Every structure is written in structure tokens, then in C-alpha cells.
Amino acid sequence: MATIRELLELGRKKLEQSGNDYAWHEGRVLLEEALGQPHLYLLMHGEDKVGTEQEQAYLSMIEKRCSRYPLQYMLGYAHFMDYTFYVDENVLIPRSDTEILTELAKERIEKRGGPLRLLDLCCGSGCIGISLKLYCDNISLTLSDLSEKALRVAGRNLDKYGVDANLLRADLFDGLKERVDMIVCNPPYIRTEEIATLMPEVREHEPVLALDGGRDGLDLYRRIIREAGNHLSGDGEIFFEIGYDQGRDVKALMEAGQFRDVEIRKDYSGLDRVVYGHL
Ligand code: GLN
């Protein structure tokens, strides 16, 4: 029987060999999961022996992660903003990049005051809209997605946090009855031919529907900008997440679609990440 410390070391080594840049951290999280114990417990009980069943559970999770299966799908959750969202293979794993968009929308909601109607379009797990609703109680929230299965995940996250929202299965705005004041949207924006070049975690396991933005990656922005005028209130606004090289194109599309004061915001790596503006 191996000790906690030995298993951590073994997991780190295997994960490192699989090309994992966060081998120590991820191995530790998987051992916490296998033992059902927090980090502190592992630190304080390094020399304790681990039962055979738990060791097996841990080693098989390490194997699965070495095959580049995403960590968050194994754990069933991902951290985003101040929250932890349930995730499975039906939704994109929330990214820290997307926190830029969420922060920006949050500031804007706080400035405008309420009540505001907010639509999280292509909501996936619902991480953007649900976080905003948790920060700002003065919004009424609609989460919409084309995927029924993604909406089920979003529904589960609503229940988890006891948040109220309309869930809408829709091809963009179909079936949206009321105009909204604000749209937040992280649409699929990868160019179709680039998908094959992404990390195996992403290209083999994340839903292609949440990634594929068509030939130039801009299909969804075009459609949304074209249709948004019919679904936004008079001074309605949109916050889009974008790929690092799509800032100028999406800004131009928004300006051609009568949006004003369109601006680009960079992420912490200095890359264009959000485009936003209002009618
Ligand atoms: N809104 C979700 C997210 O930001 C899903 C985005 C998507 O499916 N393209 O994670």
C-alpha cells in the first residue's frame, strides 16, 4: 500500500510524461477527489497509507487524464468567477478568459441600475448569466442555447445556486417574447479548419457546436448582429467574447449594424477578448 505522498509523486510523474503543464496541481486535485478529502488533509497526512480501492480509483483517474480527457469533465465542475459550475461533455468548460466579459457586463449593470432584462445567448453551462444574476439581483435573466442537453446543464446550475431564470431552447432569438436590455454572448468562434489543430482535450471532448464559428469563425456574430435590433430595447447593448484576432472584424460588423461606441477590451495576456457597444 502506497502513502499519500507517494501517490502524489507518482501521479505528478505520469501526468508530466503525458505533457501536462499543471501535473502537480492536477494530480493533487484528483487525489483529493479519490479520497473525498480537502487539500489540507493531504498536507497533514502525507505518510498515511491509502486503501487499495481508493488507490485504484486515483490511478484510473490519472490514466484517463493522461489520455487528455479534460480534468473538469472528470470532476464534474469548473471554477468561474466566484462560483463553481457543474459541467459535462454537453457544454464548453468555462474559461478564465470569459471572466473579462463577465466583469465588464457586471460593471455596466451596476452602473445602469435596474431592473434590467439580460439575455445570455449560447449560454452553455450558464456560467456568464448565472454569475451576473448572483452578483446583481436587479436583473431578470434568460438563458438560451440551441442544445437541449446544454440547457439541462444550465438548469442544473440554476438549481445549484437557487437562481431564477427563463430557459429557452432556441436557434438564437427564436421564441424570445420580450425585448431585452442587454445581451452577453460567448458564441462559437473558432474557424472550422482550425478545430483540428486545437488541444486534444478541446478537439476530442468539448462539444463542436460550442466551438465551430464557420469558415472565418464569424458566422454567429453576423447572424446575431443582424437580428439583435429586433430583440434589444432602445438603448440595448451587446457584450461579445471574441477570438484574439477577431476584434477588428467584429467591431466593424457591429458598427455596420448601427451599434455605437463600439469598443474592444483586452484580456490579461494583452489579447483582444471582448467587443461591446450599444444601439
Ligand atoms: N457561455 C458559455 C461559456 O462561456 C458557453 C459558450 C459556448 O458554448 N460557445 O462558457
Q: What's the predicted TM-score (pTM) here?
A: 0.95
Which of 45, 67, 89 marks a domain boundary?
67
Q: Are 95 and 173 contained in the same domain?
A: yes
Which residues partner with 77 through β-bridges?
Answer: 86
- 278: closest CA among 265, 259, 264, 263? 259
Q: Which residue segment(s) compose the domain that 176 sits in? A: 77-278
Each residue's pLDDT tens digit in the chain (279 positions)?
A: 899 999 999 999 999 999 999 999 999 999 999 999 999 999 999 999 999 999 999 999 999 999 999 999 999 999 999 999 999 999 999 999 999 999 999 999 999 997 999 999 999 999 999 999 999 999 999 999 999 999 999 999 999 999 999 999 999 999 899 999 999 999 999 999 999 999 999 999 999 999 999 999 999 999 999 999 999 999 999 999 999 999 999 999 999 999 999 999 999 999 999 999 999
Asked if residues 73 and 87 have their Cβ atoms less than 8 Å apart, the reply is yes
CA of 157 to the centre of ligand 1 (A): 14
> Does 188 sit in the ligand 1 pocket, CB within 6 Å?
yes
Q: How far is CA 221 from CA 22, 74, 230, 250, 254, in A?
A: 34, 32, 15, 7, 9
Question: Does one domain contain both 238 and 100?
Answer: yes
Same structural domain for residues 53 and 85? no
The CB of 98 under 6 Å from ligand 1? The reply is yes
How far, CA to CA in Å, does 25 sit from each of 14, 42, 71, 121, 201?
13, 12, 11, 33, 17
Q: Tell me, yes or no, whether 182 and 251 share the same domain.
A: yes
- Are both 25 and 57 inside the same structural domain? yes
Question: CB of 132 closer than 6 A to ligand 1?
Answer: no
CA of 92 from ligand 1 middle (Å) equals 6
Would residue 46 count as lying in a domain?
A: yes
Q: How many helices (H) and strands (E) does the chain have?
A: 11, 9
CA distances from 238 to 46, 115, 165, 188, 262 (A): 50, 17, 19, 16, 10
The phi and psi torsions of 262 (rounded to 5 degrees) equal -75, 130
Q: Which three cell numbers stand for residue 119?
A: 439575455
